[in-house]
Structure 1
Amino acid sequence: MQRTTLILDRSSALRETFGIEASWWSNAFVTDLQALVLRVTGIPAHITTTIQIAAGAIEEPLLILSGDTPHLPENRIRDAYTLLANGVDVVIGLCDRGGWYALGARQSTAMGRIPVTLEELRPWLDGLQRRGLQVAHLPLWFRITYPSDLATLAVALRTMPSNYAPTTRHLLGDSANALEREWGA
């Protein structure tokens, strides 16, 4: 089964809260997500700022990841593609503050207009159900929306394997020595 993974570039949204540093974080997040997708699927992810156009041209199973989730557990990507391969029409991973971090479809045409804002999400999900599409939910996760989320991200990365989000870890100042000192090693 051919797979297509798109990473939604969140630079403009990050710029609103991160200011001038948004480009550093956005580049790090996307780099780490691309490496994660390649590691999990063996197929490179494509970066896009316009998911409507990109998704409309894809006929195989499609997964869209929010570009502000470099810490996404790889099993979420595997689970999404497994669900799609087993007949689920649409898979969605919701965020703790609303919105989504992952959105997938067995056929991109099943999704229709993809919700970008929180206000569009509930009516979109209701529309899928009215059309009789089978929707599966991935576990709740969090995106990096505010600078204060970087502290939460640093804590989350400490529990993950060292090959997770290396570029983001570097920007956070995480190193093996710092983590060893923190844990008293």
Structure 2
Amino acid sequence: MNAPGPSARGADPGPAAVGPGPAASPAVLVMAKAPLPGTVKTRLHALLGSRGCAELQSALLAHTVELTAGWPTFLAYDPPDAEDAVRCLVPPGVRLLPQRGSGLGERLAAAVEDVCTLRPGPVVVLGTDAPTLTADRLAAAFTALDSGHDVVLGPALDGGYYLIGMRRPQTRLFGLDPALWGGDQVLASTLAIADRAGLRTVLLPPLRDLDTPEDAAVLLGDPLLPARIAAALSPAEVAP
């Protein structure tokens, strides 16, 4: 199935942020929780158990990193002492960075700053919760940035986003009220910040995150769900 094209919004760019132009080499930043039992996918514990949820997180992390094979890739992991738990899941060329900061917004901002210091240029940030994300969708994000948009966002159906990309570092986009993170206003609040800053923003087609039993039930019926993730869900009778 061919996804619909991106939709543009926003005003003309405001004053340029500090950073390189769009011709600089792009990079991908994956934000990931280490697959430690009892700490990941907690809303699926009743279906999979803590160990099964850790196995699911391993599959999601490995799948997401595989999509980035065509670009320089950084993986920011949490907790910061869990490097060994993620290193075995990613290719040697992926640069590992510990997350730092007290909340998700701070951790995203710090990770983007770290990546853009190490490799100046456009950066696309991914989570690991969207199992039907494809490499083509990631390529579309970079195409949007290369065509002159300042920000690209991939909306998640729950009101968050599965992808955010920037031509130049725009860490103000992560300056949401800490209480909003994880809720259904994350995308809308981020778009509002971008609009106020005069940033040209484009939206990719939406995807479903895998967080809840309902998500699992829907995604198991999606032909785009990777086999390894379907297998990680298969030990349970999944129901909404």
TM-score under structure 2 length normalisation: 0.61
2:218 is aligned to 152
Let me know the Cα RMSD of the aligned residues.
Answer: 2.3
1:37·1:45 contact (CA, 8 Å) conserved in 2? no
Aligned partner of 1:77 in structure 2 is: 138
Does 2:29 correspond to 1:6?
A: yes
Contact in 1 for aligned 2:125/2:164 (Cα 8 Å): yes
More displaced stretch, 111-120 vs 60-69: 111-120
Aligned to 1:27: 58
Task: Kindly state the Cα deviation for residue 70 of structure 1 after the two structures are TM-superposed.
Answer: 2.2
Query: Which has the larger share of helix?
Result: 1
- Give how far 1:113 is off: 4.4
Work out whether residues 37 and 44 of structure 1, in 8 Å CA contact, stay in contact via their aligned partners in 2.
yes
Q: Percent identity?
A: 21
Select which of 124, 131, 156 maps to 1:63: 124
Structure-1 residue corresponding to 2:172? 112
Q: Secondary structure at the match of 1:102?
A: strand
Deviates more, 1:60-69 or 1:42-51: 42-51
Which structure ranks higher in relative contact order (CA pairs < 8 Å, sequence separation ≥ 6)? 2
Moved more, 77-86 or 115-124: 115-124
Q: For 1:24, what is the secondary structure of its paired residue?
A: helix
Pair 1:152–1:120, CA change in 2 (3 A): closer
| CA distance in structure 1 between the aligned counterparts of 2:228 and 2:73, rounded to whole angstroms | 17
Residue type at the aligned position of 1:2: S
| Paired residues of 1:93 and 1:138 also in contact (CA < 8 A) | yes
Q: Gapped runs of 5+ residues in structure 2?
A: 1-23, 79-106, 235-240
Deviations 1:72-102 (A, max 9, x none): 1322101101011111100001111211111
AA partner of residue 75 (structure 2): H
Matched, 1:125 2:182: no
How far apart are the structure 2 equivalents of 1:55 and 1:120? 18
C-alpha distance in 2, partners of 1:153/1:120? 22
Contact 1:105/1:111, CA 8 A, preserved across alignment: no
SS in 2 for 1:139: coil
Residue correspondences, number: 164
Q: Aligned to 1:103, what secondary structure does the other structure show?
A: strand
Task: Mark the runs of 5 or more structure 1 residues left unpaired by the alignment.
Answer: 174-185
Aligned to 1:46: 75
Aligned residue number for residue 17 of structure 2: none
Query: One-letter code of the match for 2:203?
Result: H
